[in-house]
Structure 1
Amino acid sequence: MKTIESGTNDQIGLLSDLIDRTTDLNELIKYHKNRCLIHYEENRYKDALHDIDVLHRYEHKDESLIMIKGVCNIHFHVGEVRNSLLKALNVEIQQKEEILNLILKAAQFESRLLSV
């Protein structure tokens, strides 16, 4: 997985500050679009989708953002499924480890009983 460079975080922070301070709609659209593209490039799909939703509320239409939204939705939801599967596997592994530990303890107990 790609790590986010501090320069990228600085860019996102700067754009966020500009968004908070700007009242001009065209500037807001430009800043949200730029921040969306950075989020997308950094695989921060949920953040990119948030900016796309804001742009949609401003009634900004852009074909590249429609494509990015589709890709982000796929990655975001695949990531959710992946995390759910990993959690389920982890629970199953933990349960198997607990069962193996119980079997080991039972075998050790049986061994002590037989040695007496």
Structure 2
Amino acid sequence: MHKLREQLQLLTKASNPLGKFLEAIHNDIDSMTRELETWRSEARNQALAAAEAQRQTEESVQTVQVQLQSIEDAIGDQILKTNRLQQAILANDRAIEGMIRMVVGPEVVLS
């Protein structure tokens, strides 16, 4: 009986650190699980923030593209007006030159 008691005490002494170790592992696993959930939550929050930033950027770009298209259209209209005005000026120059030739005579060279 005495020998059995000594062996039980030895077993208890040996198993006590093992029990503490298993408890520590369990606590570590719980802690790691909480940390993992924290990081997953942070990842979700960052993904939502990135999606919102992307949406705002696309909205801003779309507004700027509409403005750009409007400006490009206005530039095209202005170029057409300028070309028409140049054509009118050239036609008027030719008409004036023709009138001067009628008044002065065809032999005069106009520059």
With normalisation by structure 2, the TM-score equals 0.49
Higher relative contact order (CA 8 A, sep 6+): 1
Task: Look at both structures and tell me which one has the larger radius of gyration over its CA atoms.
Answer: 2
Task: Identify, as 1 or 2, the structure richer in helix.
Answer: 2
Normalising by structure 1, what TM-score? 0.47
